[in-house]
A and B are shown apart, each in its own frame.
Chain A
Amino acid sequence: MGVTTSALALVKEVALAAHAPRFVYLHWPFGHALGEPGNIAQQRTVLHDMLSMAASAPRPGLVVDLPYKWRREKYPSIIDWETPGDAFVSQLSLLSQEDHGEK
């Protein structure tokens, strides 16, 4: 039995080519995978989305493009960690739409 993995990506093309089961992608500067120093709400949001990816990605090989700006983004506090965040859900649904478009 394998271990579930959920990964953060910094370069989208590399993540797609890596064929890892689950990626969330953030276009942020190198050395800032979880954001700005001291921005706990930002770091928790990234972890929330990684955990949501682990629990709810519908198929292997998806790279979910998270829409957060690097700076000056408002991160609402996470009330229920079992429920994926709105931004994550809408980006994931874009990918499922592409899936259905292909068929």
Chain B
Amino acid sequence: MGKSTTKAGSRWRSVATSTLSRGPGRTHIGWLKELWARFLSNTQLGAEVGHFASKAIALPQLKRLSVGEIPWSPLRKPLSECTVVLVTTGGVHLRSDPPFKVNSDSSFRVIPNGAQAEDLAISHQAYDRTDALKDINLVFPIERLRELEAEHVIGRLAENHYGFGLMGSAKRLMPSIREVARRISESGVDLALLVPA
């Protein structure tokens, strides 16, 4: 880093890389997967293929797993008093954490509430990350929720949020889902917002 006289500059000096970016990081997935992701996100045919594939993969599994009553926990207090947690399945994680395996990963990552966009990275192969890397709120609306916290629309944000990657097997995902659900319910959260990609 040569000159860093701006306010932001002083923060960047401590980062020991030569290619500094202010946005989240793009995990390398290879050009073929990148091309496929662009097809899925940016063309009409790709959208249809993506919808077809997610139905073909998810529906038979969900029919087996989603049996019994739909759970129902109504809000017990006004939104302005609620603690809110964000859960994303868009492959978002801390830059400093190991990336998700982009084709299939049943683990989860903790994203501390203080994390800034430039602390994050996205590892996912089933959507074009270009726009989400420009604006992380598209798949992880943390900045919008911080504004809502400051405006007292919601009470406060949870200490930790959670990220999942791409996973085709719902059954293999269940242990991680249970663990995240346990952590969320033990941390005094009132409302969980779930955001896909």
List residues of chain A with CB under 8 Å of any chain B CB: 1-11, 13-14, 17-21, 29-38, 40, 43-44, 46-47, 50-51, 54-55, 59-61, 81-82
- What are some 17 contacts across the A-B interface (CB < 8 A)? A3-B192, A6-B192, A8-B196, A14-B54, A17-B66, A20-B194, A30-B41, A31-B37, A32-B132, A34-B144, A36-B131, A44-B147, A47-B148, A47-B193, A50-B193, A54-B79, A60-B72
What distance in Å separates the Cβ of B79 from its nearest Cβ neighbour in chain A? 6
- Beta-carbon contact of B47 and A31 below 8 Å: no
**Size of interface on B: residues with Cβ below 8 Å to A:** 58
| Alpha-carbon gap, A33 to B127, bound state (A) | 11
B196 touches A33 (CB 8 A): yes
**What is the distance, in angstroms, from A1's C-beta to the closest C-beta of chain B?**
7
Inside 8 A of B173's CB, which chain A residues have their CB? none
- Contact segment of B8-16, B26-34, B55-63, B102-110: B55-63
Is B189 a contact partner of A14 (Cβ separation < 8 A)? no
User: Do the beta carbons of B131 and A3 come within 8 Å of each other?
Assistant: no
B41 contacts A8, CB within 8 Å?
A: no
Residue contact A19 to B128, C-beta cutoff 8 Å: no
Query: Given contacts A9-B196, A37-B135, A47-B193, could you give 8 more A-B pairs where the C-beta distance is less than 8 Å?
Result: A3-B191, A6-B191, A14-B59, A14-B62, A33-B197, A34-B137, A37-B134, A47-B148
Known A-B contacts A11-B55, A30-B126; A20 and B196 likewise in contact (beta carbons under 8 Å): no
Contact A43 B137, CB 8 Å, known A30-B47, A30-B128, A32-B41: yes
Q: Say yes or no: is B165 at the interface (Cβ < 8 Å to chain A).
A: no
The CA of A82 and the CA of B75, in the complex, are separated in Å by 13
Across the interface, B55 reaches (CB within 8 A) one of A14, A47, A82, namely A14
A6 and B55 contact, CB distance less than 8 A: no
For A59, what are the chain B residues with a Cβ–Cβ distance below 8 Å? Answer: 72
